[in-house]
Amino acid sequence: MKTEEKLGSVKRFGARYGRKPKIKFSKIEAEQRKLHKCPYCSKVAVKRVSIGIWTCKKCNVKFTGKAYSVAKKIITKEARIAEEEPTLKEEIEETEQAVEEA
């Protein structure tokens, strides 16, 4: 049986909006609310103030970053598959060329 993903705070939406949008929103919200690593003092103490504005609790510096995370892009399963597709197409073309040459 397939394991079900935990919804967490997205339960507040109840039966509205559908399952997939709620799971995507849950991942983004969890990422933005967790503590991040400070690029200045390297301590995990950075908290989001507002969209794109971050502050470190240790060194008390304010800086800008991405909207939901400090530096890295949040990758969902669908985005990861979309990124892998071009490489798969290239591999298929290479194997077809190898078969044609042989």
The answer on pLDDT for 5 being more than 70 is no
Average pLDDT of the residues in 21-28: 89
Phi, psi (deg, nearest 5) at residue 22? -70, -35
- How many whole angstroms separate alpha carbon 24 and alpha carbon 29? 9
* Cα distance between residue 7 and residue 28, in whole Å: 12
3-state secondary structure of 50: strand
Instruction: Name residue 9's amino acid.
Output: S
Cα 70 to chain centroid distance, Å, stands at 11
Between 62 and 92, residue with greater pLDDT: 62
Q: What is the pLDDT of residue 86?
A: 60
* DSSP code at position 68: S
Give the model's pLDDT for residue 87.
Answer: 64
Q: Is the pTM of this model over 0.95?
A: no
Residues 50-75 have pLDDT tens digits of 988 999 999 999 998 888 888 766 66
